[in-house]
A and B are shown apart, each in its own frame.
Chain A
């Protein structure tokens, strides 16, 4: 297959008519038909709509910076075409009455939507195993998870079933699957991208962002989806720089921070550690100064996250009541409380129930101060740590995930062990800052598994973050590797 598989290459190929949008879309759909039954990347393929849009691009009716490029959308982004399920039985038949702002922006840019991608139910998880529609599989080793919660978006791109995709990141849900699938995954600053039409999980932490093969691709997609939206008051009214225009400019006098507390973290895979240290050395060889920084409260990150996120989730998910939309129990109910309680028990999966209950418990009177307020105070400490660390460096480097992709089923019995996957990613959401994961190596073995490097930057410093990420990418070849997938597997 010689089709372009990156966003910018696809855009250029369509623009120069090297390939028609219709032909490119058809081939993506054919490949999807062959591979999706195994990989389970898409919950729904929007073939008819994709072909119609592609034809309109070829006819010159649709133009724009993404004209004719095949893109996948995480199935917690509302689309007026197809369903929006959040991979939950609760929303299995839900049809959104409107498009999310990011969907509108992509559509206005000429993108072709191939389908809606699988996720951990309501974006709660790190493996896509919590999906009501079964797990997605990692294209690098189909016995393993692609990460989560945006695992379907990562799988679809890594398998060549689109040229870019959108995910959402509440505690690492873009960056961790990007790391496990050899992709670039960007979580923008909180407020950079409108959340209107993103089904809410934890509203103070959620942010939409791109999966791509390259940093310039991520810059282009960020250009399109960023900006203030009157429909999301937490989106900030700041100008959006042209991220793509500057992405090839190296940062002079670069200072990269390495976190003292992360050096010998328990549970850090030795091969991940080695790949991370080699990445730091690569920056050093490009003339960067390596600065030791300290994030003394970072070890509270997961604990604070697993109070704040469930508290917000328990409130956000109260709307699923079996009345206005979503699953309703077929059982006869004596009153409305029974209707709520049975519908919710039938519609939600176990992880969603656990988080709703943790949040309900932590917000209950008598516990509120001990859990929720305490977690928010720790949040202030974590943010202050970052503010201080960024006084002495431009970006902070960490591994993205402490381990490469794990086996499907490996962490199912113990929810807490799954939570620990987020150790390097959660504090970024807690502090609201941007983070990106880049391919930085592979494990040694019969089926080599990708390893990710995470770069963290101060709030709204995406322009510099992308330039620094591009410096590493331009100096290495990891991002050029593709999984070997036969269309007849």
Chain B
């Protein structure tokens, strides 16, 4: 327990430092002294552009990290992640459908609501499946299929839409980014992410008990149906609200709990909060990196996470296979 607190304290410290760097870093470096000068254009860069970006990186990172830890706990599968399993793509599909149908402009909440509903559906589908099969492989394959189908759905909807920038839009949704987001984006996503994470936290005891398998957990008095709904709603709200603002950012939920397990132990409930902080750290770091890579157009955060997370996923898969064999 002590090491868990220490790790969380260190992670919080790192997150604070990265947040400061995130406010200064980019094409233009803005030193601390120039942050709060009302007439300085550099101050506007920090407060209007980088502040929302930094806060969003932390919120979205936290929601993805915690969602990953919760999904891994529920499925007893270290490869689970909202991005890998297609939950994020489902959210993107929900969002894009409102664009395609032209109803996204009717009210500001239509697009995020659709993203969240689609994400909730995605998680419910996956968890239902995880309940009926004990096979890790079947479950991951189901996630991969959900991911491809939802991704294709996004592409089809955007291509059919009367929109000359369809290709760019597809990339925007499937490869998320934090660039040019405003405080109103944060205001939209934050409440749902908080509620979602709160719901996920209530499943902690059930996730722990699930270490003993589904029968084991039920014999300990865990209500599986309630747990499944809490998780579907929680992960769906948190992931969906994030995707509605940033697009799909994968692998955060996969990598974070895996890195933390050796440090604080594998107890699923104990990983939820640290994974949230860890996810915030990873997304902040990746977003700073993306801004510092010298390129004409900024590399998408989703691309960077996939480039970093893909090899990680492969390594994890290989080590799992070795353990099984």
**Does chain A bind chain B?**
no
Residues of B within 8 A of A (CB): none
